[in-house]
A and B are shown apart, each in its own frame.
Chain A
Amino acid sequence: MEDAGFIIGSYVITFGAIAVYAWRVLRRSRRITTRVPDEAKPWT
């Protein structure tokens, strides 16, 4: 594929950034929600 570097690069950057952000959010949520009583968490 021509210009593969740029094209595949754009996919890697896109989904890489989303993955990093998602991982940080989930890590923070796991760490925090254990210390919060259940009634403060409407989704449980």
Chain B
Amino acid sequence: MAATDASPGGTATRGTRLIGAAAFVGVAWLVAFGLGFSPADRDQRESVRILYVHVPSAWLAYLAFVVTAVASGLYLFRRRHSLAWDRLAGASAEVGVLFMGITLVSGMLWGRLTWGVFWEWDARLTTTAFLFVTYIGYLAVRRLGGSHEQRARRSAVVALLAVLEIPLVHWSVVLWRSLHQEASVIRPDGDVKMDGLMLFTLFVGIVAFTLLYVWLVIHRQRTLTAEDALDDAGLDAAIAARRAEAVTAPEAV
């Protein structure tokens, strides 16, 4: 990344400032269109506005976990175990958990207005909640300590196991929900038909959230790189100190 001005401190470069600015504009547009310009929905009236935040954050959360899984796979199966993949997996999982939390909260608010109840055990929401808890567990595994390689290997395996788990959970939850055929009239499941300005707003939302995701992951990944580098940099100093210990140690018996 040929950054013209060396950053005084922090992980910003011209590229991230660009993405950050674009993300900010995207969010501004999303709020303007989402709350202001876009019309109310025929059936759901105003509550559809929450979807402009709920749906993009859900998509980006799933994207984040796909990135984590792919990065973990690359770390494990690539000859050159470069830790950059592991740090990307960690950064993406962290942002993914943030977005998944937002998805769940906004989903509950939307559910309260549309279905009259905060939580509805529908297949998608249940799988989302399951993913949220699974990746909180993943982040807990990342903090288990040990060398960077150990952390990377252990987290990569847990991330791949989590991916293995998603279809299983989804399948069993869908099968489970199909037992509840109670005909609920207004249950558009958020797949409300959107067109014109509403669809545009949703599109703005997805673009804004993607920019936010990229911007956050880049910064977080660089911070993790710096943290690892801090450990390693400390290593050379520690080795020197260790060697000095040998010189100064009184000639033991």
Contact = CB atoms under 8 A, between A and B. Distances in A.
Interface string B18-46: 00000000010001001100000000011
Contacts, number: 118
A41 B112 CA distance: 47
Interface residues of A, number: 35
A23 B187 CA distance: 38
B35 A8 contact: yes
Nearest to B212: A18
B161 interface: no
A17 B101 contact: yes
Contacts of B216: 18, 21-22, 25
B197 to A, nearest CB: 16
A26 B10 contact: yes
Chain A interface main SS type: helix
Contacts of B34: 11
B220 A41 contact: no
Given A3-B46, A33-B11, A44-B3, A10 B106 contact: yes
A13 B12 CA distance: 26
Given A26-B219, A33-B222, A42-B225, 12 more contacts: A3-B46, A6-B109, A6-B112, A7-B109, A13-B106, A21-B98, A22-B215, A33-B11, A36-B229, A36-B233, A41-B11, A41-B229
Interface of A: 1-4, 6-11, 13-15, 17-18, 21-22, 25-26, 28-38, 40-44
Closest 5 CB pairs of A and B: A40-B229, A30-B10, A29-B223, A29-B11, A34-B9
